[in-house]
Each structure stands twice: as C-alpha cells, then as structure tokens.
Amino acid sequence: MPNADNISGPTNIHGIGRSGTTLLQNILGATGDLQICNETPALVFAPYRGGELTPGSADRDAAPASAGVAAVHAAICAVLPSGKRRWCQKLGGIPNFIGWDMINDADRHYATEPYPFPYTWYWQVLRESFPDSTDVLILRDYRDVIISRHQYSGWKPTGIASDIAVYFNILAHPAAKIDYVVRYEDLVADSEGTADRLLAQLGLADNSRASRALAWHASPSRGETLADARKREFSWADRYGELITDAMRRTMSPAVRRLEQRLSLNLDM
C-alpha cells in the first residue's frame, strides 16, 4: 500500500516548507504503522491535470468517472507501493510546476494578492482524489519560516512572504479540509505531550518509538545536536527587524487574518 483498497484515505500533512512538516512526518513514521510517502504534490497535481486534459480512449467501453483521479491513484500506487495498512503524504508548499490556466473568477474574487492561484481547483483535486483522508496542518510563526527558508535556501525574503501568503489563503479557503492543527511552537515547548495528542487524534497506538523522531534535528548547525539548540533556547526573533519589513507584513496580514478566522486560531503574529 498505497493500493486500490486504501488509496482514498491517507493521512495528509499540510504546511509550508520550514514549518516542521518533516518532523511531523517522522513522528508518524516512527510508529511503524504508516507508510511514509514523503512529498507527493508532483504525483498528485500533475497527473490529475494530465487526466483532465487527456481525451478519452477510443477502445474503452467506458471512461473512468474522473480521469484525473484515476491518474493520481495509478501514479501513487505504482510509484510508492507498500505492505502497510495505512499511508501518509506531505502536501505542503505550492505546486508551482502546474500552469495555472484553470484560475477562475471565484478564485480572483477570493484573493488575487500577492498573486492569483486556483484555490478552488486545488481543493477539488484533494477532495476528489482522497475523500477519506485525515488532514493535519502544522503551523509555525511565518516570520521564523521566512528567516529559516532564507537562511537554508538563500531565497529572497519578499518572495518567501508572498508564497506563504498564498499558502495561508489556500488553507483558509472555504473548500479547505483541515481536521487537526499542530503548532510548531507546541512541539518545541511540549514535544512528547503534543506528539501524544497527535497520535491519539489519528488513532495510532501510544508508541514509544515515536519519541525517537523528537530527538532528530532536520538541519542541525554544524557540530550541534537538537539538545544543544534547546539548551541555548534558539530563536530567530533577533533577526525579525533585519529581514521582516513593513511591506512583507502588509502582504501577510490579510492571509493571516483569513486563516485565523477559518481555523478559529490566534496566530499572534
């Protein structure tokens, strides 16, 4: 698995890059109960779009109900097979490898800043492809995400902020499906308690193996362990004034407020 019996019901991890999606995935994977399929947007959105645009075959008696869904399921089952009963995938980030010619007037009315995006289509793909999914979102202070991504990848902070704003708009969209929210800051402050609540939410056994992921540091500083970083209470806050501008805050503000309202959260940003 994934196979034809369970392809419609994965655990979907949502979250912009540098928010802790890999840590969340590793916590779930360490239980041994889920097949971890890692980052799958290219196996979801590209095949679906291909199915949408492909004409029916002349030698078939009947076309599938949704060629896009059929393409997604076939691609994932072929590329990421496993013998496990359940599976998990990371859907974080914006699938910018797709040409957004399907943007409609409703999308433009919902949010055109900082750039337009096919919000309705995005959730249509996920809803149709994985109708039985459980969807988990990890959120981190967007200022930390901007600085972490800039430090890690060298991307321009203004571009990162624009992408995060669009991603928050995706999550806040009326068609969005988010079943459970994990705050990155809670994982730092109360790692085991936060992980235990997540596992309970997903119906996974309270497995001590999951705690191994909490001692794993995705991108450690050279010569430093996660315990070292915790001991010095590492924070990006001292760089906010250097990299987070008023223009970036204005870009982010509408999306942050929209997401707060949609998920009944106080992001305090």
pLDDT in tens, 239-268: 999 999 999 999 999 999 999 999 999 887
How far is it, in rounded angstroms, from Cα 196 to Cα 198? 5
Element (H, E) at 37: strand 34-39
Residues 11, 28 contacting (CB under 8 angstroms): yes
Is the pLDDT confidence value at 1 over 90? no
The secondary structure of residue 33, as a DSSP letter, is S
Q: Is 183 helix (H, G, I), strand (E, B) or coil?
A: strand
Question: What rounded mean pLDDT belongs to the chain?
Answer: 88
Q: Walk me through the domains of the chain, giving residue ranges and CATH numbers.
A: 11-207+228-263 (3.40.50)
pLDDT, tens digit, for every residue of 55-111? Answer: 776 666 655 678 999 999 999 999 998 878 899 999 988 988 777 788 999 999 999
- What sign results for the dihedral spanned by CA atoms 258, 261, 264, 266? positive
> pLDDT band at 229, cuts 50/70/90?
low
Q: State the CB neighbour count (10 A cutoff) for residue 152.
A: 12
How far is it, in rounded angstroms, from Cα 174 to Cα 17? 23
